[in-house]
A = this chain, B = another copy of it.
């Protein structure tokens, strides 16, 4: 790669002039400006796009912070983001965090350093006060209900979706209801927990902590859940399951153990992943890809125009009644 001195020599101007041109400062005579760009082209200096980014102050890259890349929930959100980014010729810089605050901070720092033009936060563990410190550094869009917090967000109301599914189970006569969840911390998980406690108490049923199954993310976690369930002396008659993958595991491993769905155990799941249809799992369709698409649109519009179309947008869910209840 040519350096600034070589360009200056080639263009017959001073190093300071090259700097000024590359950094986009005014007050350089057009003749000299042209000479610099010609030299740049001749010496292939633009092959280092970091110089261009430095000059433009923009990278056309959006950061995506997410705990896991190969997970049905986040995979679907990422797909939505990616499709929309593709349409606008933007690229995505992935920050897989494994829910490690330090990794989340790295993503935020990289936005501060202008490595990305903005950041889509699919999920996080860092507190609001930490994220808020980066608000001046670029647009941040969260894929969750941020409540009173002053952030851009596109979200699914997990409280409402969970409460709706619970009320359905209650209407169907269930009182012993447990649930399966990916983790117990985080905004979405807290919303679900609150919905669980609120909704059951509204009908005079005491929620049971031992019926909350944690770390349920993949098909194989369904195996663990059904085995635990079989071993329980007091069993829930119904489970809300936060992911169709886990629900598929429960149904399929349950069948092998002779557990009848819904006879022995009723299930309402979430996502409406294609696997839920042939298994006849009643599920709440979550518009995950759409959430990603809308999150990208919001951040893109802000980066390109400086305007915000809609600060917070709640996306609708759809109940798919099948025959697992």
Interface residues of A (CB under 8 A from B): 1, 3-5, 14-16, 18-20, 23, 25, 46-54, 57, 59, 61, 68-70, 75-76, 78-79, 82-83, 85-86, 89, 91-96, 98, 103, 106, 110, 112-115, 137, 218-220, 223, 248-249, 252-253, 255-256, 273-275, 277-279, 289
Contacts and interface: CB of A to CB of B under 8 A. Distances in A.
B274 A218 contact: yes
Given A69-B78, A278-B252, A54 B61 contact: no
B93 A93 contact: yes
Q: Report copies per complex.
A: 2
B219 A274 contact: yes
A161 to B, nearest CB: 21
A91 B93 contact: yes
Contact of A278 (B14, B16, B20, B256): B256
Given A25-B5, A82-B69, A223-B278, A49 B113 contact: yes
Nearest to A96: B82
Contacts of A51: 50, 54
Binding site secondary structure of chain A: helix
A110 B70 CA distance: 25
A233 to B, nearest CB: 25
A59 B321 CA distance: 50
Contacts of A79: 68-70
Contacts of A69: 69, 75, 78-79, 82
B49 A110 contact: yes
Contacts of A61: 93
A245 B96 CA distance: 24
B96 A47 contact: no
Contacts of A91: 93-95, 110
Given A4-B23, A15-B19, A112 B50 contact: no
B70 A78 contact: yes
A25 B3 contact: yes
A57 B2 CA distance: 12
A145 to B, nearest CB: 23
A304 B279 CA distance: 49
A5, A23, A52, A278 interface centre (most CB from chain B within 10 Å)? A278
A211 to B, nearest CB: 23
Contacts of A70: 75-76, 78-79, 82, 289
